[in-house]
Amino acid sequence: MLTSILERRITLHQLRIFKTVVDLHGFTRAAEALALTQSAVTHQIQALERSIGFAVFQSSRRTIELTQVGTALYERAGRILALVRETGDALDDIAGLKSGSVRIAADTTVGIYVLPDAMAAFRQSHPEIALSLDVVNRQRVRELLLSGDADIGVAGRLWEDDLLEAEPFLNNELKCFSAPSHPLAQRRRVEPAELLGGPLLLREVGSGTRESAEAILREHGVRPQPDMEMASNGALKRAVARGLGVTILSTYAVRLEVELGHLTIVPVRGLPVSRRWHVVWTRERILSPAVQAFRKHLLAPDWRQQLSVPLTSE
C-alpha cells in the first residue's frame, strides 16, 4: 500500500526541502536558505518523487508549479513538520529544558498596535522562549495557521471553520476619522450614509478592519462603496490626514495621529462600535508548552495596563 511506502521512505528532511522550494519559489533560493547545494536539493526532491511514485512539480514548466500530487503533499507537509516541532518542544520541556518558540500570525491592526506590548511583557518573564510575529491580513492569518507556519493567531471577525478554535482576547473600538478641516468633522452629527460622499476610504478586501467597517455600515442600511482602497493602515491614515476623505479604523491605530492633531473623530450616528479580537489556533494541533504559556499570557490582564487608553470623542 502507498501508505506503508510513505511511512518507510519519505523523510522529514525531504519534506522540509520540498516545502522550502515551494515557499521560496525555486530550487536555488531553497538551497541558499537551507545552506545546501542546488544539486543536493534536486537530489532530495527526486528521491521524494521516487518514494511516492509521482512527480511533485510540473516538469515542463520554467516556474515552480505543483502537480495535483504535489499540491496534496504541500498542504500536509507544513502540518507534519509543525507537529514534529511541537513534539520536540514538548520533549524538551519534559526533560527540563527551558526553551521553545512561538510563531504568531496577527491581523494588521492588532499585530502593529497591540501585540508588540504583549510580546515585550511575555519576554520579561520568559526570556528563553523565541518569539516571531507575522503581521498579515485576516485571511492570511487563517492560511498560516492551517499550513502549520504559525502556532497561534490573533484576528477579529472569526471564520466559519471547524478546523480552528478561538477565544475572546481584547475589545476593539472602531470610529470614523477625518482630517480636522474636513466638512464632516465640523458637524455635530453625521448619518452613516453621508460617509459615502466623504469620500470613503477603506482597507483592502480580506482585512479584518475592512470587514468590520463594511459590517458596521450594512447594519445602518448603507452599502459600502469605497472610493479608495489601501493595504496599509499607515497609507490610509496619511491619505485621510491629507484631506482625501474619511475612514473607519480602530482607535488603537490612530492614537498618535489624533494626539498630534492630524486626525479627528467624525461624530457618526451609531459609532463607535465595539468589536473583539480573538486568539485562534488549529484544533487538531497539540499546542506546545511555550505556545500554551503565550496564549495564557495574552488572556491575562497584567500586561494590558500598559496599553494606551482608548480614544474618546470629548
What are the boundaries of each domain within the chain?
2-90, 98-170+276-306, 172-275
pLDDT of residue 189: 92
**Residue 170: all three cell numbers together:** 481584547
Q: 98-170+276-306 belongs to which homologous superfamily?
A: Periplasmic binding protein-like II (3.40.190.10)
Q: What gap in Å lies between CA 161 and CA 169, rounded to an integer? A: 18
| Enclosing H/E stretch for 60 | none
Same fold, 2-90 and 98-170+276-306: no
Nearest to 148 by CA among 75, 88, 90, 79: 79
pLDDT of residue 97: 44
HSE (CB half, 13 Å, CA atoms) of 269?
10
Architecture of the domain spanning 2-90 = Orthogonal Bundle (1.10)
CATH class of 172-275: alpha beta
CA dihedral 296, 299, 301, 303 (to 10 degrees): 70
**Residue 144: all three cell numbers together:** 498560516
Q: In Å, what is the CA distance from 182 to each residue of 14, 97, 212, 213, 223?
A: 59, 58, 23, 20, 22
| Enclosing H/E stretch for 260 | none
68-72-76 Cα angle (round to 5) = 165
pLDDT of residue 4: 52
pLDDT of residue 80: 87
pLDDT of residue 2: 46
Q: What is the pLDDT along the chain (314 residues), one digit of tens a residue?
A: 445 555 557 888 888 899 989 988 888 888 888 878 888 889 988 888 888 888 888 875 667 889 998 888 888 888 888 888 877 777 766 544 467 789 999 998 899 999 999 999 998 888 888 999 999 988 899 999 998 899 999 998 888 888 899 999 888 888 999 999 999 998 999 998 888 888 999 988 877 788 888 888 888 888 888 888 888 889 999 999 999 999 999 999 998 899 999 999 999 998 888 888 999 999 888 888 888 889 999 988 778 776 765 555 44
CA dihedral 30, 32, 34, 36 (to 10 degrees): 100
pLDDT of residue 179: 95
Q: Write the CB contacts of 181 (distance below 8 Å, at least 6 apart in sequence).
A: 243
The answer to whether 10 touches 4, Cβ cutoff 8 Å, is: no
